[in-house]
Each structure stands twice: as structure tokens, then as C-alpha cells.
């Protein structure tokens, strides 16, 4: 007697097909497997705008004799409605990834890269872990004949900045899903595009896993062990009863035992799936709790700001002698308003190795933010607070220094922007002392070395950019600099102050890219200036 029930999970690393509904995930899966969409599709494809894949499907796929499990995900990562059915399919998808993820094929239409797709990446990061994005490959679908034939033309002439930023964020890995109506399966162009995709997959040497997936794998292995032991026990009982009681009784007992064992196995599989769903619900719950805490913290901060404003008004009414002091304070405030961080022409290095001006930066770019122990660290740009041209000239500090190889370097930023000194303390650009203060710069050996500031002069410019990395730092024109400007002199404190915004942009990426200051930054700046104002007025009252 034999149990012909196929296993629920294929014990092989997964290749995930993700992308918004209609992008061509199922089509790509069928192309890779060599199955026809019209005759014998492995993954069903719909011509409508609704998803044809209601449940995650999978199939074995070989590359160089190595077996993988292609998983065609339903439209779970491109929906805002996290209902019971959606959560169930996310759990089933993760269940199929229990033996690790070899690659995540993010299928993108060649037309454009939208905010909706950026939000999908955040959802994948939430449910699979942020490090899973390092195993992602962007695959472009719906390409025309010329785009599919000429990869250089497609890359140089058809990509816009958001697409370039997205491809750079996934390590520069990309491929094209050939259109079978233009290039049939026996066409060399069709074959070459799929071979290139296979090469991109195998270029990822490791298989991604984490504690969540490892736990799911162990549960699967335990359930499979129990199922195998039950099958062996049934066979033995069948053989023994056949000899002593006859085949009819042995077969009846076997079928009864098989039904009972299958019931237990299904219960174990349901329990395994429920454990995954419970973990997902716990993650979502923790995220909701954080957002509630952040919302409450913002409310408290607003209330304190109102109280502080009232105190300022009372202090102003008590003593007219503060007028002169207020004039000086106005100058300080004007300096902060003129403070808009980096000059647009300042250069940064992307993770892809490309060096660009800050004017080209996009949210999602991974820029060189630090170097520790000879290892370059890259961090995501999660907010561009303001960018463009001022309607007036702002005061900038031009920091001049000499590199160890004798070459000269410069960094141009507003006077109240922070840079790091040799002790990793932050210091205003205007407070750097030529011939005395040492700043940290990156050299050709991938190290940060201290060099003495040669000179600090002032210039006036009307172009600027202010942006923030998740690390809170950036190496600008080779100089290790903070992302913070005109604030308390504590990098750790400012990282905590910006924590709500960093968390929030994990869920909903920022699209702000304007000359108008981002509302959250404006709120922090107003609160800080009000606090300074109150402190200075209080000191003046005490003196009087």
C-alpha cells in the first residue's frame, strides 16, 4: 500500500515572483518553466485587471541541476486590505519559503516605477525581513521589440531616475521578461533574455533565511518526519495483518489508519500555518503599537509647544528691556532660516559605485554613510526635506582641507550644519578652527583618516538640499558629515528625535521633493527655535 498524497511544501529554496497585479508575474513563471499560457500553463494568466492568482502556486525549477521552488504570489503585497484571506496567503507564501529564498524577482512594467511599487517593497521587507531585499532582482515586463533586443538602449534611453534608483537599490541586478508574441520561445533573443535571468539568479551565492523562516522550516521537517513514520508503521501493520488475518482485513485496517494519520498530519499543517499567521499578526500589532506611541508623542510635543509659546508671550509682556535682546535673537533665527544644509553640487557615492551630485539624489538611494573597520557602510535616503533654489542668498561655510596624498578637497554647506571631528563628535561648520580642528575624510584605502582643516571661508549661495539617511550620516565630498543642521549638538539625540519619521517611512515612503520644508522638519525646527527663544528670555529676566 502507498500514500500518493503529494507533499504540501517543496523542500527547496524559493524563487519568489512578486509585483503588482497585471505586471506579468505569472507570465514570467510560465516562460521560465517553458509552459504555454494558452495550452498547459503552470501559472494561470488573466487578461483582466484583477489578479488571476488567488492562491500562491509553486513548481519545481532547475538551474544547472539545482532544484528551486518557483512561487507565484497572489496579489498580497500590492493590496492595502490586510484581511483574513490576504493574511492567509501571505502565510502560505512564507511557508513555501521555509527552506530559504534564493531570489525575489520583482516584476516591473517597463513604463514606470510608481509609489505603489515602492510601498510593495516596504511590505516585503515587513513580512520577510529587510535583508531579503538584498536578494531582489528587478525584471522588466511589457518591453517592446527594440527594448528587448538592445539592453544598452533600454538602460540608457528608457530608464528615468526612479527606475535607476530602484535598480541601484537592489545591487544593479536586472533582466527582461521577453514578450512571447514578439519573440517566440525558439527565438535566440527569447532564449538569451531567460539565460541572463538565470545568470542573475545564480550570481546570488547564498540563500536568504532568518529566524522566522528557520522556525517554519523546523516545523515542516518535524511534520514530515511524523508523516514518514506513520507511513512506515501502516505498511508494517499491513504486512503483519495480511499474513495473520488476510488481505481484506489488512487493507481495511490500513485505510482506517491512513485516514486517521492524514487527519493528524493536516492538523499539524494547519497548526504550522497558524503559527506563521500568529507571528505575522504579532509583527503587525507591534508596528501598530509603535505608531500609536509615536502619535501620542507628537500630540504631547504639540501641547508642550503650545505651553512654551504661552510662556514666551508672558515673558515678553513682563519686560520691555528684552527688545534689544530680541533683535539679536531675530538675527539668530534668520540665520537658522537661511540654513539649508548642503550645496546641490556636493558629491556622494552610491552603493553601485556611482558618484553623483546631491541634486540627483532620490528617496531610496543607498549612499555611503560611514566606514568602519575598513568596511564601507551604505544607508537608505528616506527623506528629502527640501531641495531647490532659495528666493534669497544663504550663508555657506566652505571647508578646505588637504588629503593624505596631497590633493586638496572642499566641502560647501551651511554654517550651522554639523560635521564629525576626529573624536566622532559633531561640530558646527562655522566653529571649525583652521590649523587646529581635525575632520574625518575617506581615503583610497577605504578608511576614515583625520586631517586638519586648512581654512573655513564664507560664501553666499541660493541652491541647497537637505536629506536624511537612516544612519543619520553621509560622506559628502569625502567628509564624514551629519545629516542634521541647527539642532542640539548630539547625534544620538537627533537620531531619537527622527525615529518616528524613520519608522513611518518604512511603511509609507516619502514622496516629498520640494523647496517647501517637509512639515515634520518644520515642526521640529519651530519647536527648537521656540525653546531657544524661551531660554534666552528667561536668562535675560534673571539678569534684570
Name the residue among 58, 60, 53 with its Cα closest to residue 78: 53
> What pLDDT was estimated at residue 369?
95
Q: What backbone phi and psi angles, to 5 degrees, belong to 388?
A: 135, -150
Do 127 and 16 meet the contact criterion of CB atoms below 8 Å apart?
no
pLDDT band at 544 (very low <50, low <70, confident <90, very high): low
473-476 vs 479-485, strand pairing mode? antiparallel
Averaged pLDDT score across all residues of the chain: 81
> What pLDDT was estimated at residue 522?
82
Residue 435 buriedness (CB in 10 A; 0-12 / 13-18 / 19+): exposed
Asked which of 31-45, 226-240, 242-256 is least confident by mean pLDDT, the reply is 31-45
With a cut of 90, say whether residue 149 has pLDDT above it: yes
* % of residues, the chain, pLDDT over 90: 31
With a cut of 70, say whether residue 134 has pLDDT above it: yes
Helix (H) / strand (E) element for 383: namely strand 375-402
Do 213 and 97 meet the contact criterion of CB atoms below 8 Å apart?
yes
Asked which of 165-169, 262-266, 382-386, 536-540 is least confident by mean pLDDT, the reply is 536-540
In sequence order, what DSSP letters do the residues of 77-136 get, joined into one string? TT-S---HHHHHHHHHHHHTTTT-EEEEEEEEETT---HHHHHHHHHHHHHH-GGGGGGE
Average pLDDT over every residue of 167-190? 91
With a cut of 70, say whether residue 477 has pLDDT above it: yes
Tens digits of residue pLDDT in 443-457: 888 899 999 999 999
Average pLDDT over every residue of 148-173? 88
Sequence-distant (≥ 6) Cβ neighbours of residue 405 within 8 angstroms:
443, 444
DSSP class of residue 8 equals S
pLDDT band at 335 (very low <50, low <70, confident <90, very high): very low
Average pLDDT over every residue of 234-254? 86
With a cut of 60, say whether residue 80 has pLDDT above it: no
pTM across the whole model:
0.49
Average pLDDT over every residue of 230-257? 86
With a cut of 60, say whether residue 468 has pLDDT above it: yes
174-176 vs 347-349, strand pairing mode? unpaired
Q: What backbone phi and psi angles, to 5 degrees, belong to 484?
A: -100, 150
pLDDT band at 151 (very low <50, low <70, confident <90, very high): very high
Do 325 and 537 meet the contact criterion of CB atoms below 8 Å apart?
yes
Do 177 and 139 meet the contact criterion of CB atoms below 8 Å apart?
yes
> What pLDDT was estimated at residue 225?
86
> What pLDDT was estimated at residue 440?
96
Sequence-distant (≥ 6) Cβ neighbours of residue 92 within 8 angstroms:
55, 56, 273
Q: Cα angle at 417 between 411 and 418, to 5 degrees? A: 90
Amino acid at each position: 500500500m502507498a500514500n500518493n498524497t503529494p507533499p504540501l511544501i517543496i523542500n527547496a529554496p524559493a524563487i519568489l515572483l512578486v509585483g503588482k497585479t497585471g505586471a506579468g508575474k505569472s507570465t514570467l513563471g510560465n516562460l521560465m518553466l517553458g509552459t504555454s499560457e494558452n495550452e498547459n500553463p503552470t501559472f494561470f494568466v488573466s487578461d483582466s485587471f484583477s489578479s488571476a492568482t488567488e492562491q500562491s502556486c509553486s513548481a519545481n525549477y532547475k538551474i544547472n541541476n539545482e532544484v528551486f521552488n518557483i512561487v507565484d504570489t497572489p496579489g498580497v503585497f500590492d493590496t492595502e486590505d490586510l484581511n483574513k484571506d490576504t493574511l492567509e496567503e501571505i502565510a502560505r507564501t512564507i511557508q513555501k519559503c521555509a527552506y530559504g529564498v534564493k531570489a525575489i524577482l520583482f516584476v516591473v512594467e517597463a513604463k514606470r516605477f510608481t509609489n505603489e511599487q515602492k510601498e510593495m517593497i516596504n511590505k516585503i521587507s515587513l513580512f520577510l525581513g529587510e535583508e531579503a531585499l538584498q536578494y531582489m532582482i528587478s525584471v522588466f515586463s511589457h518591453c517592446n521589440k527594440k527594448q528587448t533586443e538592445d539592453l544598452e538602449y533600454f538602460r540608457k534611453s528608457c530608464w528615468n531616475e526612479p527606475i535607476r534608483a530602484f535598480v541601484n537599490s537592489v545591487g544593479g541586478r536586472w533582466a527582461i521578461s521577453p514578450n512571447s508574441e514578439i519573440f517566440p520561445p525558439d527565438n535566440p533573443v527569447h532564449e538569451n533574455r531567460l539565460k541572463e535571468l538565470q545568470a542573475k539568479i545564480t550570481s546570488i551565492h547564498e540563500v536568504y533565511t532568518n529566524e522566522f523562516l528557520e522556525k517554519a522550516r523546523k516545523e515542516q521537517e518535524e511534520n514530515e518526519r511524523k508523516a514518514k513514520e506513520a507511513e512506515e508503521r501502516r505498511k508494517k501493520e499491513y504486512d503483519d495483518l495480511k499474513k495473520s488475518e488476510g488481505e481484506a482485513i489488512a487493507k481495511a485496517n490500513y485505510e482506517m489508519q491512513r485516514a486517521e494519520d492524514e487527519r493528524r498530519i493536516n492538523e499539524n499543517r494547519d497548526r504550522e500555518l497558524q503559527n506563521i499567521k500568529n507571528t505575522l499578526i504579532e509583527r503587525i500589532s507591534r508596528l501598530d503599537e509603535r505608531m500609536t506611541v509615536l502619535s501620542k508623542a507628537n500630540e504631547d510635543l504639540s501641547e508642550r509647544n503650545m505651553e512654551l509659546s504661552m510662556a514666551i508671550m508672558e515673558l515678553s509682556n513682563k519686560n520691555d528691556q528684552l527688545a534689544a535682546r530680541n533683535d539679536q535673537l531675530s538675527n539668530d533665527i534668520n540665520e537658522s532660516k537661511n540654513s539649508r544644509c548642503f550645496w546641490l553640487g556636493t558629491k556622494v557615492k552610491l552603493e553601485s559605485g556611482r558618484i553623483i551630485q546631491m541634486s540627483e539624489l532620490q528617496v531610496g538611494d543607498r549612499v555611503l554613510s560611514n566606514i568602519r573597520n575598513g568596511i564601507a557602510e551604505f544607508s537608505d535616503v528616506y527623506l528629502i526635506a527640501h531641495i531647490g533654489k532659495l528666493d534669497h542668498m544663504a550663508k555657506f561655510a566652505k571647508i578646505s582641507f588637504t588629503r593624505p596624498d596631497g590633493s586638496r578637497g572642499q566641502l560647501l554647506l551651511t554654517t550651522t550644519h554639523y560635521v564629525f571631528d576626529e573624536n566622532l563628535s559633531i561640530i558646527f561648520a562655522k566653529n571649525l578652527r583652521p590649523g587646529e580642528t581635525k575632520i574625518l575624510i575617506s581615503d583610497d584605502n577605504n578608511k576614515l583618516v583625520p586631517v586638519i582643516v586648512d581654512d573655513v571661508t564664507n560664501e553666499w549661495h541660493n541652491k541647497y538640499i537637505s536629506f536624511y539617511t537612516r544612519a543619520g550620516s553621509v560622506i559628502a565630498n569625502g567628509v564624514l558629515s551629519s545629516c542634521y543642521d541647527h539642532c542640539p549638538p548630539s547625534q544620538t539625540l537627533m537620531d531619537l528625535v527622527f525615529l518616528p519619521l524613520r519608522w513611518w517611512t518604512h511603511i509609507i515612503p516619502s514622496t516629498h521633493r520640494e523647496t517647501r520644508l517637509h512639515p515634520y522638519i518644520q515642526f521640529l525646527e519651530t519647536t527648537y527655535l521656540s525653546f531657544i527663544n524661551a531660554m534666552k528670555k528667561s536668562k535675560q529676566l534673571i539678569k534684570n
